[in-house]
Amino acid sequence: MCGIVGYIGHREAYPVVLKGLKRLEYRGYDSAGVAIYDGKNIKLSKTKGKVVDLETRVKEEISDVGTLAIGHTRWATHGEPNDVNSHPHYSNSGELVIIHNGIIENYAPLKQELINRGYEFKSDTDTEVLVNLIEDVKKNENVKLGKAVQVALNQVVGAYAIAVFDKNKPDEIVVARLGSPLVIGVGEDEFFIASDASPFIEYTNNAIYLEDEEMAIVRRGKKVKVRKIKDDSLVDPYVQELQLNLEQIEKGGYDHFMLKEIYEQPRAILDTFRGRMLANEGIIRMAGIDDNIEKFLNANRILIVACGTSWHAGLVAEYVFENLTRIPVEVEYASEFRYRNPVITEKDVVIAISQSGETADTMAAIKLAKSKGAFVFGVCNVVGSSISRETHAGAYTHAGPEIGVASTKAFTTQITVLTLIALKLAQKKGTISTSEFHQYLSEMDAIPAKVEKTLTSDNHVKTIANIYKDATNFLYLGRGYNFPVALEGALKLKEISYIHAEGYPAAEMKHGPIALIDEQMPVVVIATRKGHYDKVVSNIQEIKSRKGKIIAVVMQGDKTIKNIADYVIEIPETLELLTPLLTTIPLQLLSYYIAVMRDCNVDQPRNLAKSVTVE
């Protein structure tokens, strides 16, 4: 995790880097720092806390003038988040300065070697080891910074995206990546370096995404030179035109990115199926599936690997795929899958789901599956992300940038893509009839408008949030397609409001969780009319008779549950298989409003970061 930003060109660099850090803060926010070259010296300022704290520090401590700067916003791995461990880090001579996103796994022996050679360390970080290793190579081998970086990185085990400069060569920044993202924005006589393109989108649409094991020398007024770190071979950099715009990465009048992203879901879902699903003509076309359809149709089973919310989307997909296609599906936490020596064969198709496309465990699971000969298909949101490039084929979710740490529109668009895939396969296999296929397509077509309608429950959900905001525990129950939605609702509440919450299949309640029910326990029950309705109604009765409080998400016009629940939130009628796209909306709003009312930092919850690029 961590966000890195750099600028070299003709503008004042600090404002560019500062704004960029604010945009990358979703990647980590426990400390921040900046190093500016002022024409003679490096000015460095860093602090525990957020980018706003850095802003104050810079004002107090250093001159912010200069046309070269690098900055960092951190999610701590090695060393607690304090001022000293914040990036950038100097080398011992004070000539080199570095920012780093990732982990140097063999930092301990490298550090010991450097200590034996007389190096001293101020911080507990692996990054300070790396910058001194680069310095050591540079001095001992009498080479330029670029070469020193290359030699040093060949001794390193781990993951990194780095930017480093030398105060004696202030016309260049050397960057490199392995396992952590790094993109170079190419402007008119100026360059931007960042973990994603958001810091420079108002300056240029042209970008070079470094591949793993590549490094680049970004030199003022020159073309970017890209090389392979391992064998020094030159790479012709591909300058790609970005589709991102500024509006997409700003709050657009909403108090928080999370709320904006919740409200973007009608548009995001539409964008996800736009051009892929032609409901009137009864067509689904998705290049990644069409080109590989036989692999899916002949698969022994489909394995889905993912983490967090993406794993929940995978669970929904398990129900959808098995029901529509009759292909067996297994869903695994990527972090477990990668280490448990799973049985994978060439007849398996693996679907990896990841919003960021950078999650380390998901990436490792993909590599493992590929090494066993499985065909791996990616479902990612971030275009050009590591996972989208590592997989054999894939489909983007087209949700647009998701900046709030709590995933919202990524979840519903992942379900949308996965449902389209399942429908396409079912049509090809003949496991659903033509009329069913057409019905699903026309219902899917109506989903954006129904999400819009569901969002009108906003004020009602806010009222419910106000009633239960001080609860210490919540239970979420759902069945079938909505069991994973219950898990997702509980995760949303936990991560942004810090209230303990658990999701369960409704029928499991009597096997344990029922012991928790008393008058203090709010229970959110998803009770759609066709989802084992009567059984869920019985579960609600069981909770009520133990004085639990029921907040039920029901289909429009439901009368039975209205009579027994404390509160009901209605969603429009749709096919049961598509209900997760609607039932999840009020649960997102509920957690959002509770977190706001508890004065929590909704977009940047404590201890979390948007993309988990470490194990």
| Chain residues that interact with ligand M6R, rule: CB under 6 A | 307-310, 354-356, 359, 362, 405-407, 491, 495, 608, 611-612
Counting DSSP H helices and E strands in the chain, the numbers are 20, 27
Active-site residue, from 46, 409, 494, 610: 610
- Distance of alpha carbon 242 from alpha carbon 5, whole angstroms: 18
Contact between 40 and 29 (Cβ < 8 Å): no
Which residue is nearest to ligand M6R, using beta carbons? Answer: 308
Q: Which CB atom, from 150 or from 407, has the smaller least distance to ligand M6R?
A: 407
Minimum CB distance to ligand M6R, residue 382 (Å)? 8
Phi/psi class of residue 308: alpha, beta or left (left: φ > 0; alpha: ψ in -120 to 50)?
left
Closest CA to 47 of 36, 59, 58: 58
Torsion angle of C-alpha atoms 600, 606, 611, 615, degrees rounded to 10: -150
Tally of CA atoms within 13 A in the half-sphere of 449 that contains its CB: 7
b/e for 593-614, b at 16 or more Cβ within 10 A? Answer: bbbbeeebebbbbeebbbbbbb
For residue 232, give the 3-state DSSP assignment.
coil
| Residue 584 in tokens | 């999840």
- Distance of alpha carbon 108 from alpha carbon 157, whole angstroms: 11
| Residue 314 in tokens | 């995978």
- Distance of alpha carbon 538 from alpha carbon 6, whole angstroms: 59
For residue 333, give the 3-state DSSP assignment.
strand
Q: Which CB atom, from 69 or from 366, has the smaller least distance to ligand M6R?
A: 366
Partnered with residue 352 across adjacent β-strands are 305, 378
Minimum CB distance to ligand M6R, residue 491 (Å)? 6
Query: β-pairing, 301-306 with 348-354?
Result: parallel
Minimum CB distance to ligand M6R, residue 187 (Å)? 29
Q: Which CB atom, from 228 or from 370, has the smaller least distance to ligand M6R?
A: 370
Closest CA to 411 of 310, 544, 287, 294: 310
* Amino acid type, 68: L
* Cα–Cα distances in angstroms (integers) from residue 587 to residues 217, 410, 552, 553, 569, in the given order: 47, 15, 10, 9, 10
Active-site residue, from 2, 307, 380, 600: 2
For residue 135, give the 3-state DSSP assignment.
helix
State yes or no: is 610 an active-site residue: yes
Minimum CB distance to ligand M6R, residue 351 (Å)? 13
Cβ count near 73 (within 10 Å) = 33
* Cα–Cα distances in angstroms (integers) from residue 397 to residues 93, 388, 586, in the given order: 47, 11, 21
Q: Which CB atom, from 387 or from 578, has the smaller least distance to ligand M6R?
A: 387
Minimum CB distance to ligand M6R, residue 360 (Å)? 9
Q: Which CB atom, from 237 or from 357, has the smaller least distance to ligand M6R?
A: 357
Q: How far is CA 162 from the centre of its chain?
A: 20
- Which residue numbers are catalytic? 2, 610
